[in-house]
Structure 1
Amino acid sequence: MGENIHQIANGTAKVSKGGKRKLWAHPDPEATRMAEFMRALNQKYGLRLESYEDLYRWSIDDIASFWAEVWDFTGITASKQYEEVVPKSAPIFPRPDFFAGSRLNFAENLLYPANLKIDENSPAIIEATESGSSTITWAELRSRVQECALALRSHGVVESDRVAGFLGNHANAVAAMLAAASIGAVWTGVSPDTGVTAVLERLVQIQPKVLFVDNAVLYNGKTHSSYQKVKEILAGLKDLKAGVMFETVKGSEMKIEGLEVGEGRMWTYDEFLKSAGDLSAPLTFAQLPSSHPLYILYSSGTTGAPKCIVHSAAGTLIQHKKEHILHCDIRPGDRMLYFTTTTWMMWHWLVSALSAGCTIILYDGSPFHPHGDLSMPVLIQNLKITHFGTSAKYLSILEQKRIFPLQEPHNLDLSSLKAIYSTGSPLAPSTFEYVYSAFPPTLNLGSITGGTDIISLFGAPCPLVPVHSGEIQASGLGMAIAAFSPSGAPVPDGTDGDLVCTLPFPCQPTTFFSSSPSLGQQKYREAYFETFPGVWHHGDFVRFEETTRGIVMLGRSDGILKPSGVRFGSAEIYNVLLRGFGGRVADAICVGRRRETDSDETVVLFLKMEEGAVCDEGLKEEIRSVVRKELSARHVPGVIEECFEIPVTGNGKKVEIAVKQILCGMKIKVGASVMNKECLEWYREWAETH
């Protein structure tokens, strides 16, 4: 199934027919859980699946049988078995009811992983901050969830109520979420680095009954009190029944006086637990239908109020278990850290690794403190992390700074590391090469793609196929994805197109949260099914490679550049800049401009320069020359301009669409999700004078 090609370190990595370098292949693919799964299918169904492509094709040709086998193989605990996996020939919209008739609880599946013998005194969670780490055992986590659930019930929280967390990435956040899920309440999380307006844009829409908050946040060596933000948030949530404050930063003030809560009061967490009375009652798990709501996540909200996306319990659970156990080959006792906030879907993905018996590492703080650029590698070494997840931006920063943790003078021991996962934006080919030269060459570098919309992955890591430079390894099992032309027809491999999914999948949202169910469904349809009726339109611009079937991310569909009718993604420009202009260009944003008076679209490239670097005509011409040589004449920016800042969301994604709309003369409302939206005024002024 594979060949051992861990040869990047000594310069002997192979090159595929398509010119993409093979950087990794699993040394023993037959020993992986995915290979075990494939053998079980062959035996049960009399199949002859021999490769990942065979397995993938079967998974989308017979989605009902595939998801039934995932249910059994990964271990789903349910008090009542499903009557049907999915109706035959069900459309993708309206969303079909997967595993109808089953009754289960998401929290139970994470706290008591099926078919696994777990020592209750072994670590379930390791909390890590800039100042140290602490361990929470499985027994301790279960106890925390039990107490919190009893307190929530005592305050009137019932099935389908919303419970919110304005919280950092720590164990109490996980315990509160699992407590809510044990009851059947719906959890939503917003990171404490989010501005008050952005928080209220989200929470006012869903009207939570209880809000959990931190007393303070530790970041980059400094303690930041949450009091003022919390006070303003509470003032905007008129229907809140209770607020609860965790002592997240020990020694920082636990001030609840003056915090007015809509219809209730503010509690310290200790007071909240005591208010429940007897805390000795056992932890019970509400047994709920498979499509019962579990999470509310939010669209980016970069050009208006965020949409409230509702995800189901069983859909989220089975998709995450499939990805963790089959695609990531996670085993009990492995240790996963994903550098994330509680707002980002990757937090939910990380927490679900508990269901595979994995120890999850919750890091709350700056990725560059206290050991500068080596802070995360040092944490990997000290905590023996096996799976490390981060953003493409973080890895590109290490690449630009030429950080080599294994080499002198650092000499870190990262031998525990089995995988690095990267998402949030496309991972440049040069960054693939960097990772395999700077980190253990035996690891699987999994560039992955999916999103908040599906709370999981369309493009996934895979232990049965190699890693090729610049490519996501494979389409996720059971996800019938393809690239479509603007006319709605599939395009051949090797051709750029819009990412779509053509068949139902269990982690589709159930709806968009709304006081009117019909309005929620209408917004849901408009978001994903209007561009190509009957097909999920994801909003990414991609290419499936001819020789490898790997996926190349080219940017967002709404940010596609179309000079003279030729479509390409901004990621192609960014890759050129990262590869050839590091040290001079710190960052960039590339958009298309076409005003009503323009006969064609102009590619406009804004450069944020490194300190001391100059954006002069010589640099601009050098960029044009390299883009022309490496891409084409059509890719060459018509305008190259220096800017002082790049607008980004809280997850570090560039806000291309807002800049594009500003340059095209459109009047837009910029959502509070843009972390540095004040810089957009500079783009408005530029557009008015150019």
Structure 2
Amino acid sequence: MTNDPSESNGLAKLPKPMLWRHSNPDSTRMAGFMHRVNQKYSLKLKTYEDLYQWSIDHIGEFWGEVWDNCGVVAEKKFLQVSRGVLHVLCYVAISHLLIFDGAEELTIWKVLPKDARMFPRPDFFAASRLNFAENLLYPANVKIDPASPAIIEATEIGNSTINWSELRERVRKLAVAFRSHGVRESDRVAGFLGNHANAVVAMLATASIGAIWTGVSPDTGVTAVLERLIQIGPKVLLVDNAVRYNGKAHGSYQKVKEIVEGLKGLQACVMFETVKGFEMKIEGLIPDAGRAWTYDEFVDSVNNQKTPLDFTQLPPSHPLYILYSSGTTGAPKCIVHSAAGTLLQHKKEHILHCDIQPGDRMLYFTTTTWMMWHWLVSALASGATIILYDGSPFHPHGDLSMPLLIQALNITHFGTSAKYLSILEQKSLKPMKGPHNIDLSSLKAIYSTGSPLAPSTFNYVYNAFPPTINLGSITGGTDIISLFGAPCPLLPVYAGEIQCKGLGMAIEAWSPDGTAVPDGEEGDLVCAKPFPCQPVTFWSSESNEKGQGKYREAYFEMFPGVWHHGDFVRFEKGTGGLTMLGRSDGILKPSGVRFGSAEIYNILLKHFPDDVEDAICVGRRRETDADETVVLFLKMAQGKTCNYRLEDGIKSMVRKELSARHVPGVIDECFEIPITGNGKKVEIAVKQILCGMNIKVGASVANKECLDWYREWAASH
């Protein structure tokens, strides 16, 4: 089966135009990494494909090289001794009762157990001891000037800089206060905070102790916050006094009060003066045995103000973060991520895949809830300066707000959502050209995630931004707190494609019967071999067995022993790139042909951007239906209407560029598209409503009231 229009029309498939290639790939950190691997293992790896294949064929050796070359600060380091030096160590082995692992090697501390399975989760670097916060505050293999900027806070009203020395001191003071108020290893600390330096300080102070951090953005509704936090029972909650968005300040007291009332066992609520001069109201926040504090009161309550910062050295699988599934059709699942797995995966991605150099400046437009916040903060471990933007991306300078910020702060790596870039595309914004003439020469890369980036948007970015940038459409998610599909400085960029499979991530596309499909065909995204950023467990207040059961059901139910990620993808012939087609559970299957909604969205953005503001495409098959019908709902641009001419135009273009099987059976106008707080379309809930299922919609749907319209539509059609 093929969905390539040129092949279906009997034409020879034309090669895709290359949009970008690195001008000097041999100078990149990934090229240097490959050179060191060749030297150490007497190999002749020449291409990224060679390096990738080695990384998944030799999982233990690869991640050991990431540890060494990307750098990890650890009290105890793993150590693997090769066969070639056994004769030197024989006496030592006998004297100290070390163990031979077969005849091949003597292992003092292993990277990975031999023949490790994916579930239960294997323990990478089990004998090591390290602290995540120490690795971000004192990066390995990097010489840091303490007076240089670690964080730049950017807001709608101005910017401020925190240098490395100041960041370390702020973390020290809060960590000491946490300890003095009884925060211990594995306690949960929650932040109902915006994307600012205080959130990073609170996370690092939490991690320095070995407590577990969880963050929820202050734009989240009270019900959605409690759906998450009640499950994990935080000991301390940190909050903003107010938030500023789109030119207005909004007080947090009422929301915080309701959240605190719903959290039993909370011992302290600490309020930051995030919006200066705004009310700092803490009276009556905690009615039980706990206490509410301003931040200054909390850190000043410590008896010995000179207590040094102590980094608790912990096993690599010790929990670091709790993140949450989308919760669009029920209560969110609490996904627990490990310290070493998160650190190693992020350092691999930042240093090798993103080619981040010490002193580079990264901004990812994100909230503290989204996995990308954690990914951004980890750039500190590579010696980069992170820019934390808190506010609207379209304020105070409208569509030019982010380009002007890139210019003002000399940002090198800019990350955002595919939706943001498509908005700029629809408006045909070209910030570098007159009358704007914004200088974006500092940019090395733009990253996009959250939803598939349309081919037309790739072309737009290379026309509107510097053509020298690496445009990296990336994919992974909350489940792995990192990437499966990544950018790559050794490979070209092709429109519509994620550049490559991430090093060490043995991903494939599988058919429903559990067999890999060839390149060029669609399938479910799976990962067939262990990787260190697999979650530790799902949090359960009942028992570890319950959490492990939820974990297995989420990823190993469809293909036992193999990670099923829930994305529908295609690995492209010739380029080796990855095309995202949508979520597996939202796959469209009219007449048994499987395809993803992203293919329809790409057509709309390419050919109908002036008419259609947004859309949602789902399959409908009720018990009485013989086949599935593709239903496309259009949210029209201002002043536009959905008429027969537009419907016929869309159907004609889908038939021409995709196939007759892709053509929607129903096209109708809607007034709103349901989305999560991170801007992702809630396709599954709409599909279930149309199919007549009685579902409970979670509070994570930011505008769930609009789902009533879809219920009414389903009842009348």
Same fold (TM over 0.5): yes
Q: Which amino acid aligns with 2:590?
A: P
2:99 matched residue in structure 1:
none
Q: Partner of 1:527 in structure 2?
A: 554
Whether 1:381 aligns to 2:381 is no
1:113 to 139, 143, 155: 139
Which of 53, 56, 63 is the matching residue for 1:67?
A: 63
2:516 counterpart SS class: coil
The residue aligned with 1:155 is: 181
Structure 1 segment 558-573 matched on structure 2, within 5 A:
558-573=585-600
Do structure 1's residue 142 and structure 2's residue 138 form an aligned pair?
Answer: no
Q: Is the Cα contact below 8 Å between 1:17 and 1:547 reproduced in 2? A: no
Tell whether 2:486 aligns with 1:490: no
The correspondence for 1:33, drawn from 29, 32, 37, is: 29
Quote the residue 1:125 is aligned against.
Answer: 151
Task: Compute the displacement of 1:19 (Å).
Answer: 3.1
2:625 pairs, out of 598, 608, 620, with: 598
User: Structure 1 residue 17: deviation in Å?
Assistant: 7.0
Q: Following TM superposition, by how much is the alpha carbon of 1:261 offset from its aligned partner in structure 2, in angstroms?
A: 5.0
Aligned to 1:273: 299
| 1:262, distance to aligned residue in structure 2 (A) | 4.0
Match of 1:655 among 682, 688, 701: 682
- Partner of residue 671, structure 1: 698
Task: Give the structure 1 partner of residue 82 of structure 2.
Answer: none
Mapped contact 1:422–1:447 kept (Cα < 8 A): yes
Per-residue CA distance 1:249-302 (angstroms, 9 max, x = gap): 001111112212543111000000111222211111000000000000000000
1:234–1:262 Cα contact (<8 Å) kept? no
Q: Which residue identity does 1:21 align to in structure 2?
A: P
The residue type equivalent to 2:404 in the other structure is V
Report the alpha carbon displacement of residue 18 of structure 1 after superposing the two structures with TM. 5.4
Q: Secondary structure at the match of 2:632?
A: strand
Please tell me whether the aligned partners of residues 241 and 261 of structure 1 are also in contact (alpha carbons under 8 angstroms). no
Aligned counterpart, 1:575: 602
Local SS of the residue matching 2:664: coil
Matched position secondary structure for 1:436: helix
Matched letter for residue 73 of structure 1: N
Cα distance in 1, alignment partners of residues 329 and 288 from structure 2:
29
Q: Show the counterpart of 1:214.
A: 240
How far does the alpha carbon of each residue in 1:183-213 deviate from its partner, in whole angstroms, 9 at most, with x for none? 0000000000000000000000000000000
Partners in 2 of 1:561 and 1:321 — Cα distance? 37
Cα 1:233–1:380 change in 2 (3 A) is same
Q: CA deviation at 1:468?
A: 0.5
Match of 2:660 among 633, 636, 644: 633
In the superposition, relative to structure 1, how do residues 261 and 283 fare at CA in structure 2: closer, same or farther (>3 Å)?
farther
Question: What's the CA shift for 1:407?
Answer: 0.4
Residue 507 of structure 1 corresponds to which residue in structure 2? 533
Q: Does 1:622 align with 2:649?
A: yes
SS at match of 2:293: strand
The answer to whether the 8 A contact 1:240-1:261 is kept is no
3-state SS in 1 of match to 2:286? coil
SS in 2 for 1:422: strand
Tell me, yes or no, if the aligned pair for 1:243 and 1:261 is still in contact at 8 Å: no
Larger radius of gyration between Structure 1 and Structure 2: 2
| 1:49 corresponding residue in structure 2 | 45
Deviations 1:599-623, CA, capped at 9 Å, x for gaps: 0000000000011001111111111
The aligned residue for residue 639 of structure 2 is 612
SS for the counterpart of 1:612 is: coil
State the match for 2:669 in structure 1.
642
The corresponding residue for 2:9 is none
**Other-structure match for 1:3:** none
Q: Partners in 2 of 1:238 and 1:266 — Cα distance?
A: 14
- Determine if contact 1:18/1:546 at 8 Å carries over to the other structure: no
Alignment counterpart, residue 480 of structure 2, candidates 442, 447, 454: 454
User: 2: CA distance between counterparts of 1:599 and 1:653?
Assistant: 30
| 1:351-500 correspondence runs (5 A) | 351-500=377-526
The C-alpha deviation readout for 1:443-477, integer Å capped at 9, x for no partner, is 00000000000000000000000000100000000
Which AA in structure 2 matches 1:297? Answer: L
**Distance apart, 1:81 and its partner CA:** 1.4
Matching residue's letter, 2:382: A
Work out whether 1:99 is the aligned partner of 2:125: yes
Structure 2 unaligned blocks of 5 or more: 1-11, 79-108
Inter-partner Cα distance in structure 2 for 1:321 and 1:21? 31
Q: Identify the residue that residue 22 of structure 1 maps to in structure 2.
A: 18
Q: Distance in 2 between matches of 1:159 and 1:366?
A: 36
Q: Aligned residue for 1:12?
A: none
* Alignment equivalent of 2:278, drawn from 232, 252, 258: 252
Q: Which residue of 2 aligns with 1:192?
A: 218
Q: How many residues align?
A: 675
Counterpart Cα distance in 1 of 2:175 and 2:149:
21
Match of 1:584 in 2: 611
2:161 match: secondary structure: strand
2:334 corresponds to which of 304, 308, 313: 308
DSSP 3-state at the match of 1:218: strand
Q: Which residue of 2 aligns with 1:13?
A: none
Aligned equivalent of 2:708, options 666, 681, 684: 681
| SS at structure 2 position matched to 1:288 | coil
SS at match of 1:351: helix
Q: Distance in 2 between matches of 1:679 and 1:19?
A: 43
Q: Where does residue 89 of structure 2 map in the other structure?
A: none
Query: How many angstroms apart in 2 are the aligned matches of 1:600 and 1:357?
Result: 55
Q: Which amino acid aligns with 1:417?
A: L
> Deviations 1:314-368 (Å, cap 9, x if unpaired)?
0000000000000000001000000000000000000000000000000000000
Q: Which residue is 2:357 aligned to?
A: 331
Name the structure 1 match of 2:75: 79
- Equivalent-residue separation in structure 2 for 1:264 and 1:615 (angstroms): 56
Amino acid of the structure 1 residue aligned with 2:681: K
- Deviation of 1:34 after TM superposition, in Å, equals 0.3
Aligned mate of 2:578, from 551, 558, 561: 551
Separation in structure 2 between the aligned mates of residue 320 and residue 197 of structure 1, nearest angstrom: 32
Q: Evaluate the alpha carbon distance shift between residue 262 and residue 448 of structure 1 in structure 2; reply closer, same or farther with a 3 A threshold.
A: farther
- What SS is found at the alignment partner of 2:35? helix
Matched with 2:319 is 293
User: In 1, distance between residues paired with 2:377 and 2:13?
Assistant: 39
Q: Which residue of 1 aligns with 2:255?
A: 229
SS at match of 2:515: coil
Against the structure 1 CA distance between its residues 262 and 551, is the aligned structure 2 distance closer, same or farther, given a 3 Å change threshold? farther
Give the aligned partner of residue 7 of structure 1. none
Report % sequence identity.
77
The letter for the 1-side match of 2:34 is: M
The residue identity in structure 1 corresponding to 2:577 is: G
